[in-house]
Structure 1
Amino acid sequence: MDALAAHGVQRAYLVPGESFLEVLDGLVDSGVEAVVCRHEGGAAYMAEAEGKLLRRPGVAMVTRGPGAANAHVGLHTAWQDSTPLVLFVGLIPFGHRDREAFQEFDPKAWFESGAKRVMVLDQAERASAVVAEAMFAAVSGRPGPVVVGLPEDVLRQPVDATPHPPIPVASGGMTAHDVAVLSEALSRASRPLFVTGGNDWSPQAAAALTGWLERHRLPAAAEWRTEGTVPFDSPSYVGPIGYGRPKPTYDLLEETDLLVFVGTVPGDAITNGFVARQDWGKENFLVTMDPSLRGRSGPVSYQIVAKPDAFVRDLLTVELAVRDEWATWTERMRREQEAFAALPPAQPADGPARVDTLMANLVPGLPADAMVTFGAGEHTNWAHRYFPTRGYASMISARNGSMGYSIPSAVAASLIHPGRRVVTIAGDGEFLMNGQELATAAQYGATPLVVVVDNAEYGTIRTHQERHHPGRVSGTQLRNPDFALLARAYGGFGVRAEHDAQVPGALAAALRAIDEDGTFALVHLVVEQRAQAY
């Protein structure tokens, strides 16, 4: 625990277990807050969200066997989203291994295919060194999850150890040759496009890149579920690229004659299932610290090995003559994005509650630093389309399409940024996977605004079902509780809106409860089953 505190860890998200009692005891005087969660999946999601928000590993702690199994979903999210995360897992005593002891499992066999490293603390005197190595491995290169096994008996051994200092992380950067090659490629391109993504940015680098793009009248799109690196209202921002994208941004992939990916690579979601941008005659520059280019699809013209901050630092030395065709190209796409993101009427319509009405009444009153979190499902489309992401890490989501992420991520975001307006949009099916973490929110004073979009079904799967098996609904329908009543049972504010005319008042009451009572608030929005955002 001293080693974690030395690495700047402020909180550990955990579900306690007898396998790591000594770690729980070490938390008492460490200065690291123990955030006690209701399920290991929720704890892992909270730690993963913290890794996205703070650019250092989020920390989760769970027990062996069942606890480790429940936390696996957070590891998969961190792996596919390139998020720094360290999961500490209590293990059986060293001498009980390979005897099928109570809750025994092999952490390397379970986790090595989906973690950057799996380590087991077999020597007590190496505790601090193992922490340092785990924290380093999680953030170096392409960030990702690391698992550390803690045998119960090793944790009990007294040692007189010198704390291991943090290990510096290389950030790469552009060589003089890289600068020359990129400058030449931009100079000959008539329709260049930057695509930002990943979680390895600082707000300062994101703002600096935005300024450079705006000065050069160059456009930038956002990787799926990473909006805000270039702000929503920047004249250079032209929209998100990923599942559910508006058609104009899909067309951009084929129209542009130079793509520059920064912090990410053209993967499955960006290329619509490895279909778009596959012509090797196209020019793609990839800026990433992963020399293996894991997850990339399509042509690679040039790779720059750099983390986003280092790349932007060096990019600021590049000044190019602004070309009229760049400005025309950017302005055309910007107009399309502005039209797409224009809010619907705030006046309620007749009939059932609508998410359009909620967003139209919510967005105008949001502060500039508002942030949104969500998991997976059709309910996320409204956030992609309308939520004003005005800075890096103002949209936190799961790019592996993991359900159940909305509530844990909102709790973590509110604990990390207690003064900010945190909004989470959850589907009814998704909420019921980790909605119990609202009890954690109440216990630790997290105050997110929770919107539950209730269409009484797993909507995304129903959409696929209607496409492939029209009229044969199977395995997607839900009978839901009263989510507003559930929110009140957990210690927060809850309000239900079944009719569109009720939406503005329900939203106002929820926001008032957050601001005046210092509690989380939930709006239960009962919508039609087949309502779509676009």
Structure 2
Amino acid sequence: MTKEPQSTLIPTDVPHETGQSPEHKLPRSRHDSISSAPAMKSAGHVIVDSLAAHGVQRTYVVPGESFLDVLDGLHNSQIETIVCRHEGGAAYMAEAEGKMNQLPGVAMVTRGPGAANAHVGLHTAWQDSTPMILFVGLIPFAHRDREAFQEFDIKAWFDTGAKRVMVLDHPERASEIVAEAIFAAMSGRPGPVVVGLPEDILRQPVDPAIHPAIPVATGGMGSDDAEALKAALASSNKPLFVTGGNDWTPSAAEQLTDWLERHHIPAAAEWRTQGTVPFDSPSYVGPIGYGRPRPTYDLLEETDLLVFVGTVPGDVITDGFVCRQDWTKKNFLVTVDPSLRGRSGPVSRQILAKPGAFVRSLAGIELEVKEEWKAWTGRMRAEQESFAALPAPTPADGPARMDTLMANLVPRLTADALVTFGAGEHTNWAHRYFPTRRYASMISARNGSMGYSIPSAVAASLAEPRRRVVTIAGDGEFLMNGQELATAAQYGATPLVIVMDNREYGTIRTHQERHYPRRVSGTQLKNPDFAMMATAFGGFGITVTQDKDVPAALDAALAAIDNDHVFALIHLVVEQRVMAYQASV
């Protein structure tokens, strides 16, 4: 880390050198009596105390001199400080934790270069609607607008890709700004919030009182909404629910599943959000998005009533704003975002509610089950079961295959297993075969961000250490944040890492062959020994080149996790041009 210049503490009663000149004294009425004044704390320490009071369990950090006082506050805090190896990895970890919990994930980075490196995680949180807070250390307030070392305009950088960008210019608002940031990240459509922390402001002494949590409105389904939905369902022969987003709770997911199954109504999953309705539910009919199986590809046009819950029909679901654009179609959109940001196609009715509030009301709607619903759901469910049926587990002669790995991995998984992955063709095997049986059991980047697999797996393993966490990475994707295996080793995260090595950026090669056939350019890779890297980082690593060795490699990797309590990596070297969905889309 480049050493940053030291700054002097600015007295609370001396105006700053800029034209803004904020007053850093607390209101005099709170300091009239010295004997009754509470013991003061620095603003940085109050930020940490406030995060802990609001229930934050860990923060993902790449340290910098600009927020030393916050780091000092974390020293004796109940919050676990996870020191990461790159700001992009730290931001991804916070974003992944935000997907798993109701509270935002929290990352902390330094100014300038650190903030720039963390931007990728913010973009992921923005497009994936994930509650997340990024704290960014800043130059001293007194140095602002003088092009000081690593100075940048935090609002100009982040304003278009975050729900709010706040700067702690008044130290007495330290606890309030934490409460505001958590509220902003969770309210409405969830998303990322950025909080700037000027270095000198953090050291100012303030009243340590903790600002209360700000209640988040959940909306709800009014009587008019309920009647409209009930009438639409009653007149429908082929209804379809689509679940998505990161604003669910396990209980809401279970309640929705129970209602759907009782009424024999099908549900599909938004791209990379599988598990809200379990993989093996008789109502689950598959994912909708890139690489979708052929049966669900036609669902949007065939259904006569779509009910989106927690998401909207966006670019990916509608194949680039092409499917389901006929405004005579019935679409009910259940989202607490009144702007319907990202929506494509018709809107018959919007129900302003978060998933939990909607499902509680939905549970009270009882309908006479139609035979048409049973036939419709049964047909789609049979097609999904056929599509997701595992390949034969017996290895074939020749090079290692992802089909064989998944056929042998899935039976070895616990019922609550969780999968994470980033972007690339290697993710298709998880979409198709991984048994997502609860919310949340698929943690991924729906903005197509590479480098997400390892950080998200580390965060998932730390957040839920008793669950089997699996991550599937491509060879190109793995090396973008593979160094976070050091973080896994340092803090005891134990994911199973599968690296599918086809020595290329496969997704781009696929597009390239489609548009520029037989002109391969800019997509080929020469890879290191990933298993040796895993061993060097302190985990277990094994390379598999032949299909016959896949079962034994899985057994060895899982044994290392369970017995030695380390992460394990399987370096699976496959043939270059191999895809999971060639016969199904």
Q: In 1, Cα distance between the equivalents of 2:400 and 2:439?
A: 31
Offset of residue 452 of structure 1: 0.1
Q: Does 2:332 align with 1:285? A: yes
Residue 18 of structure 1 and its aligned partner are, at CA, apart by 0.3
Indicate whether 1:504 and 2:551 are aligned.
yes
Match 2:237 to one of 169, 187, 190: 190
Q: Distance in 1 between matches of 2:550 and 2:475?
A: 17
Provide the C-alpha distance between the structure 2 equivalents of 1:443 and 1:421, rounded to a whole number of angstroms: 19
Q: Percent identity?
A: 79
With normalisation by structure 1, the TM-score equals 1.00
Q: Distance in 2 between matches of 1:441 and 1:364?
A: 25
1:77-116 matches, within 5 Å, as 77-116=124-163
How far apart in 1 are the matches of 2:418 and 2:76? 32
1:400 equivalent among 428, 436, 447: 447
Q: In terms of Rg, which structure is larger?
A: 2
Secondary structure in 2 aligned to 1:137? helix
In the alignment, the residues of structure 2 paired with residue 162 and residue 358 of structure 1 have an alpha-carbon distance, to the nearest angstrom, of 54
Partner of 1:491: 538
1:379 alignment partner, SS class: helix
Given the alignment of the two structures, is residue 323 of structure 1 paired with residue 370 of structure 2, yes or no? yes
- State how 1:93-492 maps to structure 2 within 5 Å: 93-492=140-539
| 1:325-380 CA-partner distances (Å, limit 9, x unpaired) | 00000000000000000000100111111000000000012111000000000000
Equivalents in 2 of 1:387, 1:264: separation in Å?
22
1:518 aligns with 2:565: yes
Cα displacement string for residues 492-528 of structure 1 (whole angstroms, at most 9, x for unaligned residues): 0000000111111111110010011000000000001
Task: Specify the code of the residue in structure 1 equivalent to 2:274.
Answer: E
Cα distance in 1, alignment partners of residues 497 and 134 from structure 2: 27
Which residue identity lines up with residue 132 of structure 1 in the other structure? A
For 1:350 and 1:387, locate their aligned partners in 2 and report how far apart those are by CA, in whole Å: 24
What's the counterpart of residue 59 of structure 2?
12
Distance 2:214 2:220 in 1: 19
Task: Give 2:568's aligned amino acid.
Answer: A
SS of match in other structure, 2:201: helix
How many residues of Structure 1 are paired with residues of Structure 2 in the alignment?
534
Separation in 1, partners of 2:244, 2:366? 23
Amino acid of the structure 1 residue aligned with 2:497? V
**Shift of residue 293, structure 1, vs aligned partner:** 0.1
Runs of 4+ in 1 over 6 A off after TM superposition: none
RMSD: 0.5
Q: Distance in 1 between matches of 2:50 and 2:212?
A: 8
Question: What secondary structure sits across from 1:234 in the alignment?
Answer: coil
User: Structure 1 unaligned runs (5+)?
Assistant: none
Stretch of structure 1 that moved more, 152-161 or 253-262:
152-161
How does the TM-score come out when normalised to structure 2? 0.91
Q: Letter of the aligned partner of 1:335 in structure 2?
A: A
Shift of residue 439 of structure 1? 0.2
Measured after TM superposition, the shift of residue 99 of structure 1 is: 1.1
Secondary structure at 2:559's aligned position in 1?
A: helix
Encode CA deviations 1:373-392: one digit per residue, 9 max, x unaligned: 00000000000000000001
1:159 offset after TM fit, Å? 1.1
Structure 1 SS opposite 2:206: coil
Residue 457 of structure 1 deviates from its aligned partner by 0.2
1:294 alignment partner AA: R
Q: How far 1:163 moved relative to its partner?
A: 1.0
Partner of 1:530: 577
Q: Distance in 2 between matches of 1:354 and 1:455?
A: 11
After superposition, what is the alpha-carbon deviation per residue over 1:195-225, rounded to whole angstroms, capped at 9, x for unaligned? 0000000000000000000000000000000
Distance 1:510 1:160 in 2: 52
Q: Cα deviation per residue 1:233-284 (whole Å; 9 max; x = unaligned)?
A: 0000000000000111010100000000000000011001111111111110
Q: Deviations over 1:31-67 (max 9, x none)?
A: 1110000000000000000000012100000000000
> What 5-or-longer segments of structure 2 have no aligned partner?
1-47
Q: Could you tell me how far apart the structure 1 residues matched to 2:501 and 2:422 are?
A: 15
Aligned to 2:105: 58
Secondary structure at the aligned position of 1:50 is classed as: helix
- Equivalent residue of 1:462, what SS? helix
SS in 2 for 1:147: strand
Q: 1:161 Cα shift?
A: 3.6
User: SS at the partner of 1:279?
Assistant: coil
Amino acid at match of 1:24: L
Question: The residue matched to 1:240 in structure 2 has which SS?
Answer: strand
* More moved, 317-326 vs 94-103: 94-103
Q: Tell me how far apart the structure 1 counterparts of residues 402 and 527 of structure 2 sit (CA, whole Å).
A: 18
Give the letter for the 1:158 counterpart: P
User: How many angstroms apart in 2 are the aligned matches of 1:529 and 1:296?
Assistant: 37
Distance in structure 2 (CA, Å) of the matches to 1:235 and 1:387? 17
